[in-house]
């Protein structure tokens, strides 16, 4: 225990001030060790705790020969910084496995879990001087050790964030979100100085009516029968590609013309609506699906959309389908993605007078600010319609391809084709 004259406030390696812990008599009642690369600072002029041959004020590497993590453990946990109570029973278990179990318990989507795992592995691979966690050893330490190694004041988080330069703002924000979750779970918090880059939100890409018409023709001629029901359902409901892939047969109510989206983005459930067009297409598809084996997964779920091999389709599978349809319809691949169909659905609703709150609910947006971006698309459409109105009116009986500005889907996908 340190006694004698009261020392000044002590600075850590990152220059954060730590006040001493006093007792009633004015003495320091807890030994506070401040680590600077593993060295202990002894208050100058007191000679306290100095081993034989070392005078006061010198730095003493009293943990020489020990691992950096074990030295920090003695310093931080010994100084009164303890694991959160909720983690005490997990303190001896591998932290990475425990954290992944927490993500699953929170019903994070598989996509989110994979993204969080990538960020955590990036943090774990960021070594500080004196560390050696080759072969991913950091991922296998226990929760108590991880609490020490993930201390934001040690500089690991700083170094990891510095290495994110060059990524897009959305990618950086996604990684910081993962880091925030990890630190909160382990008992820390993201440093206040960390700021998220402002992401410039581009206008959503939508298909013009000419492109939509060519797309419809390509879908009708596509050999795989799954193309038509899948694309029509996405166009009429605004489903995200992951939501369409995860939908099960039991989620669709053809009589009610609705479908239940379970565990959408943000782990939120919602109901989407469709017309008789989609209902007819899904009804025909269920016959085709049955010929592929009426697949049932081990969990008992029956995926709505399955490939010819009998497995549930994936977002990557759908993107490959879109690439082939883009080539067949002479639409640039960058303009024809699963999300393009979602944007086309939303902008079509807005053009028909749907209010933003309705569109927000149908799309499953957490914030209406995300939905407002479609107002800009609507403004562009308004200008396009205005320019058309200024053109000379064609003779009767000679309609132009642009003449039909009513509707998006039913003019493109008639009930009978």
The CA distance from 133 to 127, in Å, is 7
Does the pLDDT of residue 380 top 90, yes or no?
no
Q: Which of 71, 312, 342, 343 is catalytic?
A: 342
Q: What pLDDT shows up at residue 201?
A: 66
Q: Tell me whether residue 121 is one of the annotated catalytic residues.
A: no
Q: What pLDDT shows up at residue 297?
A: 77
More confident residue, 169 or 268: 169
Q: Which of 240, 289, 312, 343 is catalytic?
A: 240
More confident residue, 408 or 260: 260
Q: Tell me whether residue 342 is one of the annotated catalytic residues.
A: yes
Of 196-200, 205-209, 214-218, 325-329, least confident by mean pLDDT is 196-200
Categorize the per-residue pLDDT at 385 as very low, low, confident or very high, splitting at 50, 70 and 90: low
For 24-47, what is the mean pLDDT? Answer: 35
For 103-120, what is the mean pLDDT? Answer: 90
368: tokens are 């209406």
Q: Tell me whether residue 240 is one of the annotated catalytic residues.
A: yes
Does the pLDDT of residue 280 top 70, yes or no?
yes
Q: Which residue has the tokens 């009767």?
A: 396
Q: What pLDDT shows up at residue 82?
A: 74
Backbone phi, psi, residue 252, to 5°: -100, 130
Q: What pLDDT shows up at residue 195?
A: 82
Coil vs helix vs strand at 403: coil
Q: What pLDDT shows up at residue 381?
A: 59
The model's pLDDT over 216-244, given as tens digits with 9 standing for 90+, comes to 999 999 999 999 999 999 999 999 999 99
Does the pLDDT of residue 7 top 50, yes or no?
no
Categorize the per-residue pLDDT at 15 as very low, low, confident or very high, splitting at 50, 70 and 90: very low
Q: What are the residue boundaries of the structural domains of the chain, listed by start?
A: 1-62, 85-186, 209-389
Whether the model clears a pTM of 0.75, i.e. scores above it, the answer is no
For 382-408, what is the mean pLDDT? Answer: 54
Q: What pLDDT shows up at residue 249?
A: 94
The CA distance from 233 to 257, in Å, is 11
The model's pLDDT over 58-77, given as tens digits with 9 standing for 90+, comes to 333 433 444 444 444 433 44
Across 191-195, 206-210, 277-281, the highest mean pLDDT is recorded for 277-281
Q: What pLDDT shows up at residue 181?
A: 96
DSSP one-letter string for 191-241: -TT--PPPPP-PPPP---HHHHHHHHHHHHH-SSTTHHHHHHHHHHH---H
For the chain, give the mean pLDDT: 75
Q: Tell me whether residue 27 is one of the annotated catalytic residues.
A: no
Q: What pLDDT shows up at residue 199?
A: 67
The model's pLDDT over 165-177, given as tens digits with 9 standing for 90+, comes to 888 888 899 999 9
Taking a C-beta distance cutoff of 8 angstroms, is the pair 226, 312 a contact?
no
Residue 363 CB contacts under 8 Å (≥ 6 apart), including other chains: 238, 342, 346, 371
Q: Tell me whether residue 265 is one of the annotated catalytic residues.
A: yes
Q: Tell me whether residue 365 is one of the annotated catalytic residues.
A: yes
Categorize the per-residue pLDDT at 267 as very low, low, confident or very high, splitting at 50, 70 and 90: low
The CA distance from 111 to 109, in Å, is 5
Of 38-52, 187-201, 231-245, least confident by mean pLDDT is 38-52
Say which DSSP state 85 is in.
G
More confident residue, 28 or 266: 266
More confident residue, 172 or 16: 172
What CATH number was assigned to the domain covering residues 209-389? 1.10.443.10
The model's pLDDT over 307-341, given as tens digits with 9 standing for 90+, comes to 988 889 999 999 999 999 999 999 999 889 999 99
Q: What pLDDT shows up at residue 337?
A: 92
Closest CA to 341 of 196, 229, 222, 233: 233
Q: Which of 265, 270, 292, 301 is catalytic?
A: 265
Q: What pLDDT shows up at residue 169?
A: 87
Does the pLDDT of residue 128 top 50, yes or no?
yes
More confident residue, 84 or 400: 84
Please report, for residues 73, 179, 180, the alpha-carbon distance to residue 151 in angstroms, rounded to integers and kept in the order given. 11, 12, 12
């Amino acid at each position: 225990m340190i006694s004698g004259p009261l020392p000044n406030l002590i600075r850590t390696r990152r220059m954060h001030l730590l006040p001493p812990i006093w007792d009633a008599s004015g003495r320091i009642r807890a030994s506070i060790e401040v680590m600077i690369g593993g060295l202990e600072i002894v208050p100058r002029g007191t000679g306290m705790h100095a081993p034989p041959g070392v005078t006061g004020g010198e730095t003493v590497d009293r943990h020489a020969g020990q691992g950096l993590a074990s030295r920090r453990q003695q310093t931080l946990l010994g100084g009164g910084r303890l694991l959160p109570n909720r983690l005490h029973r997990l303190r001896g278990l591998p932290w990475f496995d425990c954290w992944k179990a927490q993500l699953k318990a929170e019903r994070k989507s598989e996509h989110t879990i994979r993204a969080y795992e990538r960020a955590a592995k990036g943090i774990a691979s960021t070594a500080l001087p004196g560390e050696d966690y080759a072969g991913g050893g950091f991922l296998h330490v226990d929760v108590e050790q991880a609490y020490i190694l993930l201390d934001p004041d040690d500089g690991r988080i700083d170094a990891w964030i510095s290495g994110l330069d060059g990524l897009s703002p959305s990618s950086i924000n996604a990684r910081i979100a993962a880091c925030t979750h990890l630190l909160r779970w382990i008992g820390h918090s993201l440093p206040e100085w960390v700021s998220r880059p402002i992401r410039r939100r581009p206008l959503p890409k939508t298909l013009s009516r000419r492109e939509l018409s060519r797309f419809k023709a390509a879908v009708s001629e596509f050999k795989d029968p799954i193309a038509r029901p899948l694309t029509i359902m996405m166009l009429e409901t605004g489903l995200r590609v992951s939501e369409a892939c995860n939908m099960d047969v039991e989620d669709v109510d053809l009589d009610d013309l609705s479908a239940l989206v379970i565990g959408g983005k943000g782990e939120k459930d919602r109901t989407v609506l469709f017309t008789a067009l989609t209902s007819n297409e899904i009804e025909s598809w269920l016959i085709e699906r049955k010929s592929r084996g009426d697949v049932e997964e081990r969990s008992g779920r029956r995926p709505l959309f399955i490939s010819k091999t009998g497995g549930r389709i994936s977002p990557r599978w759908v993107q490959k389908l879109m690439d082939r349809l883009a080539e067949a319809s002479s639409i640039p691949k960058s303009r024809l993605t699963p999300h393009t169909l979602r944007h086309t659905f939303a902008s079509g609703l807005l053009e028909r007078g749907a209010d933003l709150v309705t569109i927000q609910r149908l799309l499953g947006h957490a914030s209406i600010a995300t939905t407002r971006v479609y107002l800009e698309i609507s403004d562009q459409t308004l200008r396009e319609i205005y320019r058309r109105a200024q053109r000379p009116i064609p003779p009767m009986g000679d309609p132009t391809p642009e003449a039909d500005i009513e509707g998006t889907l039913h003019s493109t996908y008639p009930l009978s084709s």
